[in-house]
Amino acid sequence: MGITRKHIYSIKEQCTNKVPSDDTRLEDRFILHQMNIVRDVLIKQSLNEGNLDNGFYQLKCCIPIECDRIVCNGIDSGEKTFYAEIPTLVEGIGYKNITYFGNVEFNDIKKGLHKNWDRYDFEGWLSVGYREWTHNRPSFTVLGGYKAGSTNLDGTIALLKNIPNTGGKILCVNGIFSNPEDGVCDPEEFMDMEYPIGSLGYKMELIVIKQILSTEVSLGDDTNNARDDSTNAAKTGVKMNDPQQYGTE
């Protein structure tokens, strides 16, 4: 793997003929967006080839367990649910997108693997209480959103059952997240952290470079004057100086 910032700089340097200037239209956010797209493809290819690299995973702690009373049309149903908001997971790889989900006690050797909660699909999660041997095990299911009364969550959430009394109310998840920036507790530190691409960093860079160069005749600028003087500005519909166009996911 390599530092995120170094991957970005390497890609930019090669796309600008190793002469990056202060007026290049190739923005870091655009490069990172392309890196995330290519990473998603490489993850699925690796799974199909039977060698999913551990370097794709990120361990994210600092995830609070939330409790919500289910209120419909202003009427309290008397029921409550426990859930946790987790980063959006890479899709298309099944349960491989999470290898650990549980309390912060995962590092306690005396407690063993039972700290890794059981994962079910929604129907299986509903019937956990009927399982003879595992009905008391902590369990979770992943959903794409949640709404009850004033609570409206559009992101990925995990519904929880049989929450342990120890380990506090904070969860850790070792997963493959769609946006690697969501996999760190402090996003401001992301650029100086390892980019979760495993052993495929070089391959990712080559694909991103090819993708970027295929959208423009040239990314360079003859004059380093803090203005975009390139002659091919009208030849593409991509605004590479507008990171808001493609977001951070």
Residue-range domain boundaries for the chain: 4-53+195-245, 58-175
pLDDT of residue 153: 81
Say which residue, 229 or 205, is predicted with more confidence.
205
Helices (H) and strands (E) in the chain, counts: 4, 10
Give the strand pairing for 151-153 and 157-161: unpaired
Report the range of poorest mean pLDDT among 16-25, 141-150, 206-215: 16-25
Say which residue, 38 or 224, is predicted with more confidence.
38
Which of 55-64, 72-81, 166-175: highest mean pLDDT?
55-64
3-state secondary structure of 116: coil
Whether residue 149 contacts residue 71, with contact meaning beta carbons closer than 8 Å, is answered with yes
Q: What is the pLDDT of residues 14-48, one digit of tens each?
A: 988 755 555 567 889 999 999 999 999 999 999 99
The token pair at 203 is: 């391959």
Q: How confident is the model at residue 208 (pLDDT cuts 50, 70, 90)?
A: very high
Distance CA 117, CA 163 (A): 9
pLDDT of residue 71: 76
pLDDT of residue 40: 97
Distance CA 231, CA 40 (A): 33
Q: Is the pLDDT at 147 greater than 90, yes or no?
A: no
Q: Is the pLDDT at 206 greater than 70, yes or no?
A: yes
Average pLDDT, the chain: 83
The closest alpha carbon to 5, from 24, 26, 31, belongs to: 31
Distance CA 91, CA 96 (A): 10
